[in-house]
Structure 1
Amino acid sequence: MVYIRLSFVMLTVTVSQQVFADWTFPGYCAQKNSYIRDPNLPVSTRLPPLPVLPKTFQVQVEAQLLDRKVTKTGKIFYDERRKRATVKMFANNQLSTSIFDFDINQTIFVNNGSCYVRDYLTTDQSILIGAKQTGNSTSGTLNFDKANGLLYKGRKTVRDINCDWWQSCIIWPQANFTLDYYFSAYNWSSPSSPRQVPVLAEILGSKYMIPQDVPIHHIYEYFDFRNKIWEDNSVFEVPSGLICPGLPITKTVPNLPQTFSFNEEIISTDGVQSGSVYYDRKAKIIRYLYTSFFSPNLMFVIQDFNTGILFFC
């Protein structure tokens, strides 16, 4: 087992020992629940305010998983008000969908006509969406979170966009890594949002595996950030007719009254049939009044469950 010795100096953390495999943290990390300027920057460097993500947004993303030699493209949809998110990723000529339910801390995976459920923290997508499970705050969205500690590294140009560069040192049970985020500078205008928007994120570190740790190096480029969701509600839903083993039942079957009636219309290849249904549970009787497919005349049917007799008129 490898232990980490952390020494705090003026709200910074100096990580002096190696963590996992042959990867080490940088010389300085911001203390948790703080954001500070990198001590290596000129003293005159202004510490900008932290970017704040909107409560609802969508964004396109291209993920370069360099350690796996894989490129993925997709979209992220985030809705804090309803405590949900969806990530749609396209790779190897296949579309996979991950639907996050922060109320029950679970992720629904839909891929190639199959569906299964996993705990939120056990998924790789938790790095992409964020580590918080409560869904009560977007501060942890995309894992950009003051709780992780944020070190301001200055300005940097990314895709010809002037950006503020922030870095967090993150220690998880299964991985240690730095997360570098580049947000458009506060005075840079974006097409669909007056806020600072994410432009690029880079993860560099090591993941605990058996028999040996493996390196992590991911780059996420964000495009077309919009401060509302332009798709319909179906992006957060399991496709119709698909069964997901392990998905908890959160809704109950509604209770019908003891007596009720309704009108119905039945459409089939034989034609259209309309009628009325009268149901009495206490009396154990159902009455039907309808026209058949083959006759315009009104038909009258009673089902008596007391006697087991069916009456036609």
Structure 2
Amino acid sequence: MERHEFIVDAEDEGKRLDVFLAENLEEYSRSYLQKLIKEKRALIKGEPGKNRSPLKEGEEVSIEIPEPKPLEIKGENIPLEIIYEDGDLLVVNKPQGMVVHPGAGNYEGTMVNALLYHCQGKLSSINGVIRPGIVHRIDKDTSGLLMVAKTDQAHRSLQNQLKDRKVTRVYRLLVHGVMEEGQAVIDAPMGRSPNNPLKMAVRDEGRFARTHITVLERFEKYTLLEARLETGRTHQIRVHLQYIGHALVGDPVYGPTKAHFSLEGQMLHAKTLGFLHPRTGEEMEFDSPMPEDFQKVIESLRRDKTREEE
């Protein structure tokens, strides 16, 4: 049984219980959380709440998530690019196109399948059988660095560092349009899109979300950026860049539907990852080069830019 506890702050006062939980537990659908509320698994000040129960600042809210139904997730001998490994954790460079953990209709070929084989099942159990060891994730079509916990103690430490915004997460990305400002802070709250539950959107009543942007290089119709996450909402970089009019190149969900550069995925790479070692407290930081396809696109744009300047 997984238990989550929250304290309602001023900006969440008046929100319905189901809305509050959906915003704070983005990995679960609102309909699933409503089902758990009806089963009296969600408490407000220790008493069962209702979906429409309005919340007040300072109230304690908790919810119990039942263990997932037993599923046999098998280890598979899938190559992994392991950047670092010890008895507590791994740092893995995920290729574009690989799903992080199994989901409905997709129980093979994921990073979890590869990790179970590599680690011989020795992964943290906090996130259940579907997501053993997975502390955070990146989208299927995003490449780059992920930290994976082998022990429950390591998992809790890394999870708390994420919650306290002490984890360094730096991305490289190519966006549509020429961004004039050298730097920007995108401070725009996010929640599920009211029009499509599979998408996220900037919403006034959403959860606090902040992304720091730095321009690295400008081209005729594109801009190469660095993005530093202060928070880590689902699809945060993709939604925030679309919000300011610079959608991610290759993003079929939040960007133009027309394909660019014959890409099979979006041009978003989790390049740098830093955190404190969960057992020793040592500062650790890792870096990974941009994928070959990403680099080829940038080099092509640079050549075009040089020809124009000649």
TM-score relative to the length of structure 2: 0.27
Larger Rg: 1
Structure number with higher strand proportion: 1
Bigger fraction of residues in helix: 2
Taking structure 1 as the reference length, the TM-score comes to 0.27
